[in-house]
Amino acid sequence: MKTIIVVGGSKGIGKALVEKLLANGNVINISRSIPQISHNNFTHHNCDVTQDELPEIEIADGLVYCPGSINLKPISRLSIDDFKNDFEINVLGAVKVIQKYLPILKKGNKPSIVLFSTVAAKLGMPFHASIAVAKSGVEGLVKSLGAELAPTLRINAIAPTVTDTDLASKLLRNEKMIENIIERHPLKKILSPEEVADMAEFLLSAKSSSISGQVFEMDCGIVSFKI
């Protein structure tokens, strides 16, 4: 039975992933809020990864870093602190966690790391400058560490389009906004947390044992197609 560390498993995609992983393994969750999950294989540590000392963990076979931000403003209204904060949450937090748990992950059973990017790192979108910069850093980290840690450990990222989570609630706050966003996507849908969690679960599993250093666009066609 594998043990997976999930950072940010109290809400959204992270919570959906925790619930899937608990069916067949142990999950150690690290987040600022306590998830509404009760299970014998579940352990929770209250921690703000950008500010606090990370908990000591003895064994792990996988790591998923879920924290992110959606900070959409015109460049004229984005402060240097906005860029710094988004970079800290999305990139430096991931680096901190990876550095902390890399020694135990290297001893794990076919270990794997999963990070999260965004379609805005590939598709130029107005008002996305800060988050696109941060998530492009995530993608660079995946490529570099994929090479550095092979063949011992795999690392990949998922780049979702709009996903129905609390984080995206400002983009999905009424039916008209939801309809407009759905219409922009060639597959005429947005993502659910559960289907993104399915991809993360796959990338943690032995089924993806030949995949590393990749960024998977879960884009509902918006990056790939023009129709």
Tokens of 80: 């240097």
Q: For the structural domain made of 3-218, what CATH number should be given?
A: 3.40.50.720
Residue 151: cis peptide before it, omega within 30 degrees of 0: yes
The answer to whether residues 94 and 138 touch, using CB atoms and an 8 Å cutoff, is: yes
Tell the residue number behind the tokens 């602190």, with chain if given.
Answer: 81
- Specify the length of the chain in residues: 227
Amino acid making up residue 91: V
Alpha carbons 63 and 143: distance in angstroms, whole number: 16
pLDDT score for 186: 92
Q: Residue 28: is its pLDDT beyond 90?
A: yes
Q: What does each C-alpha distance from 204 to 38, 76, 137, 201 come to in angstroms?
A: 22, 40, 21, 5
Taking only the tens place, the pLDDT of each residue in 139-189 is: 999 999 999 999 999 999 999 998 987 776 677 778 888 888 899 999 999
Tokens of 95: 């680096």
Q: Whose structure tokens read 């790591």?
A: 63
* pLDDT for residue 51 is more than 90: yes
**Alpha helices in the chain, H assignment, sequence order:** 12-21, 80-87, 93-106, 129-149, 175-184, 193-204
Q: How confident is the model at residue 226 (pLDDT cuts 50, 70, 90)?
A: confident
Percent of the chain, pLDDT > 90?
A: 84
Beta bridge partners of 218: 160
For the beta carbon of residue 137, count every other beta carbon within 10 angstroms: 19
Domain boundaries, the chain: 3-218
Exposure string (b/e) for 163-178, b if CB count within 10 Å is 16 or more? bbbebbeebbeeeeee
Whole-model pTM: value is 0.94
For the CA atoms of 137, 111, 69, 13, the dihedral, rounded to the nearest 10 degrees, stands at 150
DSSP state string for 140-163: HHHHHHHHHHTTT-EEEEEEE-SB
pLDDT at res. 139: 98
